[in-house]
Structure formats: structure tokens, C-alpha cells
Amino acid sequence: ACLGFGEKCNPSNDKCCKSSSLVCSQKHKWCKYDL
């Protein structure tokens, strides 16, 4: 399963939910909306 908003993630292995327009923040290391 992919990671939801605000979940901890690894920028080099981005598992955030692309279908929800989420990306792993390089700076904060959590999934945020790619606006």
C-alpha cells in the first residue's frame, strides 16, 4: 500500500500515494501534496 498524507517517507524511495498527488518531501521526510 502507498503512504498517505503526513506519513513518514524516504525521498529516495518515494512510496507516497501518487493517485492522491502526494510526494515525499526532501526537506521534511513526510508525504505532502504536490501542488
Residue 2 has pLDDT above 90, yes or no: yes
Nearest residue to 30 (alpha-carbon basis) of 21, 3, 1, 20? 3
What percentage of the chain exceeds 90 in pLDDT?
97
Residue 35 has pLDDT above 90, yes or no: no
**Are the CB atoms for 3 and 30 separated by under 8 Å?**
no
* pTM > 0.85: yes
- For 1-35, give the secondary structure using H, E and C: CCECCCCECCHHHCCECHHHCEEECCCCCEEEECC
Phi, psi of 11 (to 5 degrees): -55, -30
